[in-house]
Amino acid sequence: MSINKDCILSNWKKRLKLLQWLVLCFFIIVILRLFHLQVVKGEFYEIRAENNRLEIESIPAPRGVIYDRKGRILATNRPCFCLLFYPQKLPHKKDILESYASFLSPILKKSPSETMFMLKKSLVYPIRPIYLKKDLTWEEVTTLEASHYFFSALKIHVTPLRFYPHRSLACHLLGYVSLISAEQLKSMPEAEPIDFIGKMGIEKLFQSALAGKKGKRFLEVDALGHTRRVLKETLPISGNNLYLTLDAKLQAYAEQLLKGKTGVIVALVPQTGEVLTLASNPGFDPNLFVNGMDKKTWQKLKNNPQNPLQNRATCGLYPAGSILKIVTALAALENKVISAHTKINCPGKFVFGDRVFRCWKKSGHGMLDVKRAIIQSCDVFFYQLGAWLGIETLADYAKQCGFGQYSGIGIEEASGHVPTSTHKWPKGEALNMAIGQGSFLTTPLQIAQFFAALANGGNIYGPQILLKMLSPQGKIMKKGEIKINSKLPISTYNLKLIKEALVGVMNDPRGTGYNARSHRVVIAGKTGTAQVISLPQKKLSKLPVSHRDHAWFAGFAPAKRPQIVVVVLIEHGGHGGATAAPIATKLIEAYLDENN
């Protein structure tokens, strides 16, 4: 028995060696693995551990406030409770998603299935937080806060949201902010998907100055996304405040005058090029872009044939009509094609080759010098000048007067179109251009720029919209600069002559703007009536009023010492003297009343 037992034991114990080797092997495997994880890849895991526990939350910086020249607020911020959703914090489990959906659906006022669909969509870009709702009520905030522990992927942010208190006032100039797009996000390394950035106008032009610097909060978080403590915090720096050259009161009045019409009013300070008014109607409410709009509203805005999003003052391209006769007269005088006393007979039509060009007054104006021709806006007189000057000279002078090139205002603008000499034009084109028809196109701002130069003695100023930029502490960061783009190619004598003619337009009984004259101030100006038939805007031509002409007026006042330049354009307004000029007179009177 005993021998048997020992025999059994010694036999069994042989297998113990096997176990021992197995143990050693496995320990070596474990140690090698540990070495691999901790020493070879240690740094990699250390970084990962660090990322696990650190969360950087940015604190939005209040955007700079935009004021008008007298300190009236045009764009500011309002605190807003926003509900943000961080998809990356949501475990990919169906039941959890469902619990989120059922929790959120009453707050979002959507059905659970719709909410579910929305949440699922957001999971496609897991690192991109989205705004679920803005402007939470107190009740909603408390509901959300109370359940925060269970729904850690939801976060309430108190965000300063852009607010335009006067709604559509100067909307085209101010522009708007809206959520950053995916493409912009790629090009801006600092930006986050929940940032608002300027998409148009001043907001876009001064985006970096207005935006300020975001603050950062370094949080220690656990795996459930709950904040344990704040490690570090840097406070946000507000954006710079802007004071525009705009006169909000005048702008509001201009927009009121445009009500019900499609058109533009531009007003500049002739001596500096400061923009006082830049009204374009119809407009839009920029708050819509901040708060987000439903699809229907957006479609309505986008597909509106009147195109309310377009800034007609800087981007709208129009034939200048009779306004351009000033350029033609200027070119002819400077080129010595005519003198101040050269008289041309207007029989009501002008025969050029085998074509007949008609004057707007069928009976004709009779013998006219250049001054009278401007006052009565005689077409035949300027056909003759066009024929004498030729398209190239005319185009050259138009360019020297600032047409066909960007004014440099900074916001969106079109350059307009001046027929160039490289192109082979039919002979009649010079005649068309001489009266502001044909392929020549301008923006209302360019007209204003040109008239400002006439008013101030020949300096073409780049339009200026920034008066000053102040840091949040009130330090002046930047001042508006007067910028001379070029000089009008005109002698003092000829300029005086043209100015006299412009005064005559408004004050001579036979002047085209006589009916719109002011009894309080001497206005100098020029009316214009631009034919629409050659307009490229086909959509508009479907409208019943579409065949009516565009009504123009450009002028300045007081004529002796100009304080304001005004350009009015009413699309399909008919006759410039009847439609556009009275509006300009009202605006000029209002401005001078206010400022004298």
Partner 1 sequence: MKITRFFLTTSGQMLFVLITLVSIGLLNLYSATYYLGPKAILFKKQIFWTGLGFITLWIFSSIEYHKLRIYAYHIYTIIVLLLFALLFIAPSLSGTKRWFTLGPISIQPSELAKIVFIITIAHYLSETKLESQTLKVFLKTLILTVIPVFLVVLEPDLGTAVILLILFGSMCVLSKVSNKILLVVGGLALAFLPFIWKFMLKDYQRARILGFLFPHKDPLGVGYHVLQSKTAIGSGRLWGKGFLKGTQSQLHFLPEHYTDFVFSVFAEQWGFIGCVILLTLYLLLILMGIRIAQRANHPFAFLLAGGITALFFWQVFINIAMTLGLLPVVGVPLPFMSYGGSAMLVNFIAVGILINIDIKNWRK
Residue 30 in the binding site for partner 1 (CB under 8 A): yes
Residue 99 in the binding site for partner 1 (CB under 8 A): no
DSSP assignment string, 66-135:
EE-TTS-EEEEEEEEEEEEE-GGGS-S-HHHHHHHHHHHHHHHTS-HHHHHHHHHHHTTSTT--EEEESS
Q: Find the binder of partner 1 among 3, 71, 92, 474 (CB under 8 A).
A: 92
Query: 157: part of which helix (H) or strand (E)?
Result: strand 154-163
Annotate each residue in 46-75 with x if it binds partner 1 (CB under 8 A) or - if it does not, as one string: x-xxx-xx----------------------
Residue of 168, 178, 238, 322 with catalytic role:
322
Q: Find the binder of partner 1 among 3, 18, 146, 356 (CB under 8 A).
A: 18
| Long-range contacts of the stretch 88-96 (C-beta < 8 A, 24+) | 88/126, 88/127, 89/152, 89/153, 89/225, 90/119, 90/123, 90/153, 92/123
Strand positions, DSSP E, 406-520: 459-461, 466-470, 476-479, 484-487
Residue 371 is encoded by which pair of tokens? 């001054």
Nearer to partner 1 (CB atom), residue 52 or residue 304: 52
Which part of the chain contacts partner 1 (CB under 8 A), choosing from 19-27, 138-146, 271-279, 364-372? 19-27
Rounded to 10 degrees, what is the CA torsion of 517, 313, 308, 552? Answer: 30
Q: How far apart are CA 188 and CA 222, in angstroms?
A: 30
Nearer to partner 1 (CB atom), residue 37 or residue 476: 37
DSSP assignment string, 359-399:
PSSTT--EEE-HHHHHHHT-HHHHHHHHHHHHHHHHHHHHH
Nearer to partner 1 (CB atom), residue 228 or residue 302: 228
Q: How far is the CB of 102 from partner 1 (least distance, A)?
A: 21
Q: Find the binder of partner 1 among 3, 146, 223, 356 (CB under 8 A).
A: 223
Residue 305 in the binding site for partner 1 (CB under 8 A): no
Which part of the chain contacts partner 1 (CB under 8 A), choosing from 20-28, 236-244, 411-419, 466-474? 20-28
Nearer to partner 1 (CB atom), residue 46 or residue 593: 46
Residue 358 is encoded by which pair of tokens? 């008609």
Rounded to 10 degrees, what is the CA torsion of 501, 503, 504, 508? Answer: 180
Q: How far is the CB of 39 from partner 1 (least distance, A)?
A: 6
In the chain, what is the greatest distance between 2 CA atoms, to the nearest angstrom? Answer: 152
Q: Find the binder of partner 1 among 3, 15, 146, 542 (CB under 8 A).
A: 15
Q: How far is the CB of 128 from partner 1 (least distance, A)?
A: 17
**Is 518 a residue of the active site?**
no
Residue 138 in the binding site for partner 1 (CB under 8 A): no
Q: How far is the CB of 472 from partner 1 (least distance, A)?
A: 37
Nearer to partner 1 (CB atom), residue 7 or residue 543: 7
Residue 16 in the binding site for partner 1 (CB under 8 A): yes
Q: Which residues of 328-345 are buried (b: 16+ CB within 10 A; e: fewer)?
A: bbbbbbbbebbeeebebe
Binding site for partner 1 (CB under 8 A): 4-5, 7-9, 11-13, 15-16, 18-20, 23-24, 26-27, 29-31, 33-35, 37-39, 41-46, 48-50, 52-53, 91-93, 220-224, 228
Which residues are catalytic, by number?
322
